Copies of this chain bind each other. A is one copy, B any other.
Amino acid sequence: MKVSVGVSNRHVHLNDDDYKLLFGEIPMTKRNDLTQPGCFASDMLVTITGPKRSIENVRVLGPNRSYTQVEVSKTDSYALGINPPVRNSGDLADAVEVTITGPNGSITRNAAIIASRHIHVDKKIRREHNLEGIDMVSVKIPGEKGGIIENVYLKDSAEAYFEIHLDTDDANAHLLKQNDEVEIIIN
């Protein structure tokens, strides 16, 4: 079955305490809604610094979460000089140290991961697309630089928009853009 593509550029999730350390009393304001219900890109930008280099203008997504997490691509990781693990969002086991700098200050956290390839689903989507009881799928990508990507997790939430999230490395390697369509393969 088909699923549409969402391309995730590098971004940051913050917990409330870290948000205050970085932005002080500046309230988080919304730039635009994201496809997942309730999620949005904020106007807030930070700088991420690793042992090798910094990347500026990294967007903070909202609302704040219970954990601080920096999602980067492998390409970003080489630039920063870090070697983060591939992890599902929220699983910060072995996440690597980076410094995050905002207008109010800097924090250093074991927060950097490369996000696993994942598809957002909810109970209704699982039922409608015969995905009940399935944890992981492969996805067939068409085109001149197409192929099959493996280890694509189904990520549950109470209310989801049915979409595969790929980082910029996966998207660019396969010449995929936001809203392109790819095909789920049940293993």
Copies in the complex: 2
Is B172 a contact of A145 with CB atoms below 8 Å? Answer: no
Q: Could you give 12 example pairs across A and B, Cβ below 8 Å?
A: A73-B172, A74-B173, A75-B169, A117-B145, A138-B147, A145-B149, A147-B147, A147-B150, A169-B172, A169-B173, A170-B173, A173-B174
Q: Does any Cβ of B come within 8 Å of A168's Cβ?
A: yes
Q: Does any Cβ of B come within 8 Å of A175's Cβ?
A: yes
Q: Does any Cβ of B come within 8 Å of A86's Cβ?
A: yes
A: residues with CB less than 8 A from B are 73-75, 78, 86, 114, 116-117, 138, 144-151, 167-170, 172-175
Given contacts A75-B75, A169-B169, contact A144 B175 (CB under 8 A): no
Closest chain-B Cβ to A146's Cβ sits at a distance in Å of 5
Contact of A151 among B114, B138, B145, B150 (CB under 8 A): B145
Contact of A74 among B114, B146, B151, B172 (CB under 8 A): B172
| Chain B residue, CB-CB nearest to A76 | B172
State in angstroms the CA–CA spacing of A175 and B75 once bound together. 10
Closest chain-B Cβ to A91's Cβ sits at a distance in Å of 13
Contact of A168 among B75, B146, B147, B148 (CB under 8 A): B75
| Chain B residue, CB-CB nearest to A142 | B150
Closest chain-B Cβ to A6's Cβ sits at a distance in Å of 16
Contact of A86 among B74, B75, B149, B175 (CB under 8 A): B175
Is A145 a contact of B170 with CB atoms below 8 Å? Answer: yes
Given contacts A74-B172, A170-B173, A175-B74, contact A149 B151 (CB under 8 A): no
State in angstroms the CA–CA spacing of A184 and B167 once bound together. 26
